[in-house]
Structure 1
Amino acid sequence: MTASVAGPASAPGADQWTRYNATVLTICIAGWAFDVYEQTILQLVTPLIIMEWGIAPATIGIVTTIARWVGLIGTLVFPALADLYGRKPILILAILGYCVFSGLTGFATGWVSLLIFSALTRIALSGEEPVGMVMVGETAPTKWRATALGGLVGGYPLGYMLCSGIALIAVPLWGWRSLYFLGVLPALLVLWIRIVIKESPRYERVTAAMLKEGLRKRFDLWSPVRQCPREMLIASLCVFFYLFTWFGWAAWMPLFLANEKHLGFETAATYLTIWMFVAIFAYWVCGALSDHFGRRHVIPAFVIPSSILLVVLGSISDPTSLFWVGLVANFLITGSFGSGLGYTTELFPTQIRGTAVGAAFAFGAAAGSTAPAIVGWIATGHSIAAGLPLLAFSFFLLAPLFYFARDTTRRELTDFVGEKGHRHAGS
């Protein structure tokens, strides 16, 4: 029998940190970090693959685009399975999946096998992120839930920096394939999950209540749309506005700095690395402020100035000004991500939370993934700077969305469809 950290003795939503919920948060942050590690590999090794295989850059673009779209299968299916079988087993399955397929990607011999393994890896990766977010949302203390969700997404810059740092050492010694082989190591995280954490107590409570009432769980991807249409619209728009801006920003900012602003590769890489390091703290800051003042006020306070700075960035030529304006803009953009995206987990009852969050992420990501192509089209006719106002407008729309939508910060989560929102957590 394996030892487990006991679940909280009090009801789900207890207002204190325990060994259990702190461990869940730590494990899920590590999961997000390793997710991003896997996603970053291809970005870093693309020049080496092009040189070794003699393929066109457009071919890598096709591989990346198709893999991202195929990954939406995981975004839809894994969270829905988490509603059926539990958060913990599906989290384990997703992590094992991307470890195995990442390792196999190291054996790719051409763009076709690279596409197959990348797509399979992306399915598992895309499934792990919403499941981890749901589990953190259900286990974190009610008064600190936005902070926990912000810290969870803070695993993104950690994973990016981890991959970049390992690449500097491993690639010169063992080649680009070593980054994929090292991607098998997160399997150790599965062992940690298996030993030290139990299932989400809230999920177990809802499952027991449904069994007692004779209610059957069903694999129904469209149930959130039928049962919570307003919440699904809000959640999908939230994910879309965030990801449209982020996909466009992440895809074109390196080229924007290096070529369009004439900083060169090394300076641009230095800027982005520093910005990403500072972003680690941004997630926690915005989450803590959201818990204290509410998302209704904090998210607009982050997205409105960052939208303005995103437009201003396109007209700046001085390298020092570029660095500081970009640093502040990136801090505000990334800072609101965790608390903002985490809002989607609070809109739905435990009964369908995984399915609903997965569907919202899938719809939002599918639409948001068009941003790199749209900005690229604008850049072809004009410049990357000319496309920044579009990204800024998408991000700006989050302000009215959060201001007028129901603020769920510091409120107990609901468990069943049709149940009214619970009380506000005490101070």
Structure 2
Amino acid sequence: MSNLLVASPVEIDDIRRTRWAITLAASLGWFFDAYVITIYALTIPFIAKELQVSTLVLSGEVGSIFLVGYTIGTIGFGTVGDVLGRKTMLGISIIGYGIITALTGFATSLLALALLRFLTGVAGGGELSIGAPYVSEVWDRKSRSTGIGIMYSFYPLGFVFAVLAFSVITPILGWRAVYFFALVPAALILFLRLRLEESPRFQNVLAQIESGHKQRVGLLKALGNPVFRYRILVGSLIFMSLTYGYFAMVFYIPSFVIHQYNLSPTVGAAAVTSLLQVSGIVGGLSGGFIGDRLGRRWPAMILAALGIVTIYLWWGLHWSLPGFCIMVFIGGFIVAYEWAVGIVYVSEIFPTEVRASGFGWSAGLGRTVSIAAPIMTQFLAGKFGVGVAIQLSSAIWLCLIIGYAISHETHGSELADRVEQMRHKQC
């Protein structure tokens, strides 16, 4: 897959078609993931009014319950993805995601809502732990970061789509209808995924194992390798920062701008949150492009340090609405850049036969800390205000800097396929 020069023109065309088909399918999965997460954040004020529940409870406690499910799904789908393959697990993920999201529209109590959000998280975990390894395995070493950057950019696109759907559907049909509407994109994405091939690199690894009569190394055996364990630690530190930093803030932006600037939920707040994601498209694509040219580690570490300063100023000063929007754009760019680079980096440090497992456990263990993000922000917001609470959350970005600092650069390197090929590399 990585060397097009040794392939015939027909083979090159087949490789490129497979590459773009898999990238599009995974990208649309991230698009749908963003839709499901975003409509919840946008409908919180309406749910709170109808169910007679505080918006802080819905953002905090229910938000954390969603992340518990997402953590379980990330680990579970990743682990099984190395057994049943990438294509199969992505299909299961999208079916579950679509159906459960639609059922959320029928929730009439806080308990039912919390349970459905938990199950939504479980199904949605597959988008992260399967989609990223799937895409990384079909791009060559010179453009892999760009491919992941393209995939990630569909997440903010999905966010913007969710805002548009929310703004059009809610005033006419009510907040529940935006959950029912989830069946439409879910069906389209599932149709596309049924036409996919399995990851060619993953298939080649299985064929090599079978032809060579070598025993396949699964997750449990891989954990006996100290290099594998060390890389899970590195990946966990990176994802701890990415997920905690994002979820400590994203659920609170709509409610914050509604109260701080007297904006309407369906227009003003939706516009501000869309701006965050528009900048995310630029940030994700930039992360992919720069990662393939300047490397993953040092640009990400420098931007993370700038991110801490940005979040402190963004939420610590009293901005006018235009000033707050400028900070939204800058902050959204940094967050998306770090996500795109982090995803490709963690995908690259694991070999193909356990890539989904390694990625899933890295992201899942990192998410165990992020589970506390919404509820911790809720607790701190109750004592010091939302701004201070989000400021304090920026300290988690130090873990991202540490994760890259104790690891090695992957820029320009070929993917390993077998656990036995992993070698410890000094920074």
The TM-score bracket by the shorter chain reads: 0.7 to 0.9
- C-alpha distance in 2 between matches for 1:303 and 1:58: 28
Deviations 1:292-343 (Å, cap 9, x if unpaired)? 0111222123212222121122342241433323322321222221112221
> Which among 353, 356, 370 is matched to residue 354 of structure 1?
356
- C-alpha distance in 1 between matches for 2:32 and 2:274: 18
- C-alpha distance in 2 between matches for 1:15 and 1:255: 50
Amino acid at match of 1:411: S
The match for 2:263 is 265
- Give the direction of change, closer, same or farther, for the CA distance of 1:68–1:375 in structure 2 (3 Å limit): closer
State the aligned residue count: 409
Deviations 1:205-256 (Å, cap 9, x if unpaired)? 1111222244555874x55543211101101111001112111122334455
Deviations 1:69-110 (Å, cap 9, x if unpaired)? 133221111111110011111111111111122222233333
Report SS of the residue matched to 1:198. coil
- C-alpha distance in 2 between matches for 1:73 and 1:401: 22
Deviations 1:353-410 (Å, cap 9, x if unpaired)? 1111111111101112212333333333323333344333222442343244211122
> Identity percentage over the alignment?
24
Alignment of structure 1 residues 3-402 onto 2, 5 Å? 18-57=16-55, 60=58, 61-185=60-184, 186-195=186-195, 197-215=196-214, 220=219, 222-227=220-225, 228-259=228-259, 262-266=260-264, 269-319=270-320, 320-402=322-404
**Structure 2 unaligned regions, length at least 5:** none
The match for 1:4 is none
Amino acid at match of 2:26: C
Deviations 1:12-43 (Å, cap 9, x if unpaired)? xx999812212211111111010111122222
- C-alpha distance in 2 between matches for 1:138 and 1:176: 39
The match for 1:5 is none
In 1, are the aligned partners of 2:66 and 2:114 still within 8 Å (CA)?
A: yes
In 1, are the aligned partners of 2:64 and 2:374 still within 8 Å (CA)?
A: no
Amino acid at match of 2:340: G
Amino acid at match of 1:84: V
- Give the direction of change, closer, same or farther, for the CA distance of 1:224–1:357 in structure 2 (3 Å limit): farther
Q: Report how far residue 175 of structure 1 moved.
A: 2.3
- Give the direction of change, closer, same or farther, for the CA distance of 1:153–1:173 in structure 2 (3 Å limit): same
Amino acid at match of 2:37: Q
Deviations 1:147-189 (Å, cap 9, x if unpaired)? 1112222222111111111111222222222212211121221
Report SS of the residue matched to 1:289. helix
Report SS of the residue matched to 1:127. helix
- C-alpha distance in 1 between matches for 2:210 and 2:396: 43
Amino acid at match of 1:108: A
In 2, are the aligned partners of 1:310 and 1:392 still within 8 Å (CA)?
A: yes
Q: Report how far residue 285 of structure 1 moved.
A: 0.8
Deviations 1:262-285 (Å, cap 9, x if unpaired)? 323345543332232122111011
- Which deviates the most, 25-34 or 176-185? 176-185
- Give the direction of change, closer, same or farther, for the CA distance of 1:374–1:223 in structure 2 (3 Å limit): farther
Report SS of the residue matched to 1:280. helix
Please give the TM-score of this superposition, normalised by the length of structure 1.
0.87
- C-alpha distance in 2 between matches for 1:274 and 1:365: 25
Q: Report how far residue 145 of structure 1 moved.
A: 0.8
Amino acid at match of 1:182: F
Q: Report how far residue 415 of structure 1 moved.
A: 0.5
Q: Report how far residue 413 of structure 1 moved.
A: 0.4
Please give the TM-score of this superposition, normalised by the length of structure 2.
0.87
